[in-house]
Structure 1
Amino acid sequence: MSTVAVAVSDGILHFELSLAYELLGTPPPASAPVADWYEVSICGTGPVRADGRFLLDPDGGLDLLARADTVIVPGWADVDVDPPADLVAAVRAAYDAGARVASLCTGAFVLAAAGLLEGRRATTHWAHADALAGRFPGIEVDADVLYVDEGRVLTSAGKAAALDLCLHLIRRDHGSAVANAVARRLVVAPHRPGGQAQFIATPVPEPDDHPLSDLLAWAGRHLDRPMTVEDLARRANMSSRHLGRHFRTMAGTTPLQWLLNQRIRRAQELLETTDESVEAIAGATGMGTATTLRRHFNRAVGVPPDAYRRTFRTRRPHEPAGDGHASRRKIP
């Protein structure tokens, strides 16, 4: 079982703390069972006060961080004040012991104080990005993204972007099917603008009473087919303009961009779970050719399909020893 330690101290933000505990501490729905889900502990030096209001009694001391597989540092309330030295030292010790360390929102200031962001790209809440860059000039601060994955060090932007990062961790560890099941349970919005080349899509359908529910479900089942806005509009018994308004309200994007996002998401799942060629996956996702898939995939995800496949095959701890090919399935 993978162990997760959430590092807390006076001045921690309760939203990010609660979010991390909820996402990583609650097993996924029965539709996506996982045998080795996370064991989550909250670690701090005695009772701590979150947001200056909520008193929290940790499960154990900060020394437990060094024994965890993953350490989560929630948002830090007062970025103008140095975080406690014992917290900074414990986070650094955990990293040196081999832990993966992730910060949520302004938790990046704790990672920066621990020296974990030096020479790395990182992000935090946009309102505090200049402060982070000014105090730690050795960090390449990117304020335009939802989160940054630097391998064993990850940082997220503010509040809801912390959810994106936690889902990303789940996806890295357990694959897209499990991450998507968790996202559906949380009723996460299907589109998150942010200008990021990210490893995660949020393909969550709207509630059943939404006017586009049937269309979204149908499109998701037929991603191998070519589709135009007119095709989608006819299927939904709407004009193209009316359909576009619904998509902008629901997803903050156009019908074609939503469709492309779903094709990319499907390609991610197939790259993770099958041995099919990029050409075959291009056909199964309606991209047509491997060249087209590579172009769109690289632009949306930030790496080529082959590199994505290698990354997620090596990062999934529940996969059996060996090259994993024997357990891979064909495209359904």
Structure 2
Amino acid sequence: MTSREFRPHRVAVLALDGLLPFELGIPHRIFGRPRDARGRHLYEVVTCSVRPPGPVETDADFTVHVTHGPEALATADTVIVPASHERGPVHDEGRLTDDLAAALARIRPGTRLASICTGVYVLAAAGYLDGRPVTTHWAHAEHLQRMFPRIRVDADVLFVDDGDVLTSAGVAAGIDLCLHMVRRDFGTAVANEVARSTVVPPHRDGGQAQYIHRPVPDPQLATTAAARAWALTRLHEPIQLRDMAGREAMSVRTFTRRFREEVGVSPGQWLTRQRVERARHLLESTGLSMDQVAREAGFGTAQSMRQHLLQTLGVTPTAYRRTFRAASGI
């Protein structure tokens, strides 16, 4: 891409009355960091309102002044709706307020849409989510499903990527979602650098299950953290469940239960995800053959790796490498 052709990906963040300031700031923090090899910002982030420029109420003791009106939505490549207090400008019967409906009508077909926490109510009320899998804060999941029975709510994940529509769970899960979009757009290396500068993990283990209130466990009970750390250094080797359980001196049954409680997924699901992330890194940053990448990531064969990447990322290893090695200039 020449300098004349370069245009950053434009992200419009829709600030609604009653917004939660933390969630509003997430897209600016995450998308404001990535730069290319020439130091150019890969994203342009603008905040807009459904009204002409002016103050927008928050759920705190201050307002924010937004300098863009709804016209900014018409120029966006991605539109993000952060959380606002409760359901924000969505009526009890699931209808949008008139000004919000008019603002959303400005979004161009094909624009990527995303929500953080209860921002999902806006996308659902606008009809963007019918028939799609979505998530939101676990405390609102049942209500969201009742209000919009045509969507499929999964309360046990941090975010859902359904292609052109993405939704996240509550609060800090918005960071996970935005990092995922950076990873999808520009690769693991760029997303990892953003995570480092933001002082957050590039990929959090598990889903929302680990954050739902439970009785406080006995502090004397063992955890599975050491087994996970041990496995991460041996992803290229065959790892059996009994091996991980043995690291913690637990039975397989006890280890599996504790692992799910702490991480939110099964040990097998967690291992697969770590191996996919390892394969992504190798595909982006090395010239190893597909067979070599598969062995280093612990998939054994290129065909096995291909199946897992297709299932997880929706692309083949060859297509993934073509996209992200070219973007990194390797």
**TM-score, structure 2 normalization:** 0.70
Query: What percent of counterpart residues are identical?
Result: 43
Alignment partner for residue 276 of structure 2, among 264, 279, 295? 264
In 1, Cα distance between equivalents of 2:208 and 2:291: 27
In 1, Cα distance between equivalents of 2:96 and 2:295: 52
Q: Which residue of 1 aligns with 2:300?
A: 288
In 2, Cα distance between equivalents of 1:123 and 1:84: 22
Number of equivalences = 289
In 1, Cα distance between equivalents of 2:238 and 2:181: 32
Contact 2:206 2:270 in 1 (8 A): no
In 1, Cα distance between equivalents of 2:86 and 2:243: 52
Q: Which residue of 2 aligns with 1:87?
A: 100
Q: Which residue of 1 aligns with 2:34?
A: 27
Q: CA deviation at 1:117?
A: 1.0
Alignment partner for residue 43 of structure 2, among 38, 44, 61? 38
In 1, Cα distance between equivalents of 2:326 and 2:191: 16
In 2, Cα distance between equivalents of 1:309 and 1:17: 36
| Equivalent runs, 1:218-297 vs 2, <5 Å | 224=236, 240-241=247-248, 252=263, 261-272=273-284, 278-290=290-302, 292-293=304-305
Bigger CA drift: 282-291 or 106-115?
A: 282-291
Q: Matched residue of 1:72: which SS?
A: strand
Q: CA deviation at 1:165?
A: 0.8
Pair 1:47 & 2:55 matched = yes
Contact 2:157 2:206 in 1 (8 A): no
Contact 2:70 2:106 in 1 (8 A): no
User: Cα–Cα, structure 1 residues 195 and 159, in superposed 2: closer, same or farther, change >3 Å?
Assistant: closer
Q: Which residue of 2 aligns with 1:162?
A: 174
Q: Which residue of 2 aligns with 1:75?
A: 83
In 2, Cα distance between equivalents of 1:220 and 1:144: 24
Alignment partner for residue 66 of structure 1, among 74, 80, 92? 74
Contact 1:126 1:144 in 2 (8 A): yes
Q: Which residue of 2 aligns with 1:236?
A: none
Q: Which residue of 2 aligns with 1:105?
A: 117
Q: Point out where structure 2 has 5 or more consecutive residues left out of the alignment.
A: 1-7, 210-224, 250-254
Pair 1:137 & 2:149 matched = yes
**TM-score, structure 1 normalization:** 0.70
User: Cα–Cα, structure 1 residues 182 and 62, in superposed 2: closer, same or farther, change >3 Å?
Assistant: same
User: Cα–Cα, structure 1 residues 27 and 311, in superposed 2: closer, same or farther, change >3 Å?
Assistant: closer
Q: Point out where structure 1 has 5 or more consecutive residues left out of the alignment.
A: 197-211, 233-238
Contact 2:191 2:202 in 1 (8 A): no
Q: CA deviation at 1:137?
A: 1.9
Q: Which residue of 2 aligns with 1:207?
A: none
| Amino acid aligned to 1:241 | E
